[in-house]
Chains A and B, each alone.
Chain A
Amino acid sequence: MHVDYLKELKQNNAGRAGLITLVLILFLVLIGPVLSTHSPTEHSVATLEPPSAVHWLGTNDVGQDVLSRLLAGARTSLLVAAGTAFLSVSLGAMVGIISALAGGITDRILMRFTDAILTIPAVVVIIMIAAYIRPGVFNLIIILSALGWPVGARVIRAQALTLKERLHIYAARSFGGGMLQILFHHMIPDLTPVLCVSFIQGARRAVFMEAGLAFVGVVDPNLISWGVMLRHALEYCYLDAYKWWLLPTGFALSVTILAFTLLGYCLEELTDPRLRRWDNA
């Protein structure tokens, strides 16, 4: 009955690639302050310089060290991703589990609301909200989560509904286990795989949206972000600077999104029995 997810994850090529890449990015973010010899915001007169021993990835239009900004941007991306994923999964889990356990009218009202938010084109609405409040990291997490939780809520509710009918939950209830006891000792542990999938997919969406919003130019102007870097680099795309400024930034962003995608696909395949490759064809 029980599947050793970690072991299977290690055996899955896509999952392994995604996991290793993410760990690598995380490592770079952690040692970033040591690695970057320049402050990411420090201006200098050496503008648009090609890569050299001093500036490994050259400098941008106002003489800032591109590598330092790239590392600082990674920190922003991962911070927003982790924060948004955590907040929206928590919200989604709360709504999903309450909906599944309560049933009846509570379920109907919560799911109606969830479906309504799912139909809203999130990117457009988020651009509009962000245009007014110009969010930094904290507000970005709040806005992205406010529109991001329904996806998880639906999946978690479906899973919680089947769990509710399982024998061990019945057994726990017949022994007099209260609502909270059942929730924390039996439901949440069994929901962990689904929560993980929601977390990774939420993180992936957040990385993409944060970069998108920054590219559009609706975030806090002081935020150091890959999207902001791409936006500025595009203005200088007719110069050679794109080779060390635009391309590394874009590829860093793509690789991060890809790592989350691969890990997400793989986890989904492991946790959804319908997608498990039982016939290995």
Chain B
Amino acid sequence: MVSNYLIAFVIIISLNFTLPRLMPGNPLQAIYGEEALIAMTPELKQQLTERFALESSLWEQLQSYLLNLAKGDLGYSYYYNAPVSEVILGALPWTMLLVGSALVLSTLLGVVLGIESGWRRGKGSDKVLLTGLVMLNGFPDFFLGMLLLLIFGISLNVLPLSGAISPYAGLTGPALVLDVLTHLLLPLTALTLAGVTGSFLLTRNTMIGVLRAPFILTARAKGLSPRVIRYRHAGRNSMLPVVTRAGVMAGRMATGVLFVEMVFSYPGLGHLVHSALAARDYPVLQGVLFVITVSVLSINLLTDLLYSKLDPRVSYAR
């Protein structure tokens, strides 16, 4: 199981290493972008060529690349004039806030709606929920974001259009918290809506299966109220697959957040990718995408390991 992730990791590293070097022309240009190269002094060029070992064999280049990576050195951004790792660390908290809260919200909403829908299988409200959420799933996350932006930001003009805090407002205490929350609301809603269908469908399907189980009949025969049966008996068992799929969901959110942040200019990693592309700041671009990939891989590995600990059948099955 761990070997899957190792292979994936090796594929990512080799892509990161070969892509800039496969490009026609000077590899320094591909690594740093044309604009940065024009601005560089000859000494700096010399220094960078030595640093990437660009004049030596590919094997030595790979060695120095891996060595830098192992030290946590993701390169230097000439656009921000700072190490890439520093730039990423500055943007990371906003993305974590957005992804974390969207993950919790969409899972909760999906589970509750899934339980209710599965309980009422085939009735009107189930059909409405099912159709509505499947339709919602057809909307790409960035278009959902744009719709929210157009409705609440532009037509109604009640919520801020972009950013994470009001600039130069000098807010402190509760006012600052409120400001952060109002800025968070739209991107969070877009990301939550984009993720809710997955956990809804999963819970609903499991719920339908669980409701056929004998212990539900027992609970009914004991005379428990429908609400207790629905949540404490059936609902609890329907949540298991959702919890174990949290890793997959986190991975999907990690890519969804890139698009949503671009729509709202939310100053996280997605916005970083956006501006890095505009400025041709390839070190930052590679760094951000590398960090996201590695985080997604680690989260998935972690949930896989946790899952086989919690449910030994999984490891026997292999």
Contact = CB atoms under 8 A, between A and B. Distances in A.
Given A119-B5, A125-B293, A254-B139, A132 B274 contact: no
A279 B143 CA distance: 38
A54 interface: no
A127 B140 contact: no
Nearest to B304: A119
A112 interface: yes
Interface residues of A, number: 43
B258 A216 contact: yes
Given A112-B4, A281-B122, A253 B143 contact: yes
A113 interface: yes
Interface in B222-276: 251, 254-255, 258-259, 262-263, 273-274
Interface in A88-119: 112-113, 115-119
Contacts of A215: 142, 259, 262
Most B-side CB within 10 Å, residue of A14, A122, A123, A281:
A123
A230 B134 CA distance: 23
A131 B134 contact: no
A278 B172 CA distance: 61
B219 interface: no
Contacts of B286: 128
A116 B8 contact: yes
Interface stretch (B51-59, B78-86, B107-115, B145-153): B145-153
A125 B19 CA distance: 11
B4 to A, nearest CB: 5
Interface in B120-144: 121-122, 134-135, 137-140, 142-143
B7 A112 contact: yes
Interface stretch (A159-167, A168-176, A183-191, A234-242): A234-242
B296 A121 contact: yes
A230 B4 contact: no
A132 B286 CA distance: 10
Contact of B263 (A208, A234, A242, A247): A234
A258 interface: yes
A169 B220 CA distance: 48
Contact of A265 (B5, B19, B134, B147): B134
A129 B15 contact: yes
Contacts of A119: 4-5, 8, 297, 300
Interface of A: 14, 112-113, 115-125, 127-129, 131-132, 208, 211-212, 215-218, 230, 234, 237-238, 242, 246-247, 250, 253-255, 257-258, 261-262, 265, 281
Sorted nearest first, the 9 A-B pairs with minimum C-beta distance are A258-B138, A116-B7, A123-B255, A250-B143, A121-B296, A128-B289, A115-B4, A116-B8, A119-B8
Interface of B: 3-5, 7-8, 11-12, 15-16, 19-20, 22-23, 30, 121-122, 134-135, 137-140, 142-143, 146-147, 149-150, 154, 251, 254-255, 258-259, 262-263, 273-274, 277-278, 282, 285-286, 289, 292-293, 296-297, 300
23 contacts: A14-B134, A116-B4, A118-B4, A119-B4, A119-B300, A121-B292, A121-B293, A123-B258, A124-B296, A128-B16, A129-B15, A132-B19, A212-B259, A216-B259, A218-B277, A230-B146, A234-B146, A237-B149, A250-B143, A254-B139, A257-B139, A265-B134, A281-B122
Given A230-B146, A250-B146, 9 more contacts: A116-B11, A121-B292, A121-B296, A124-B293, A211-B140, A254-B139, A261-B134, A265-B134, A281-B122
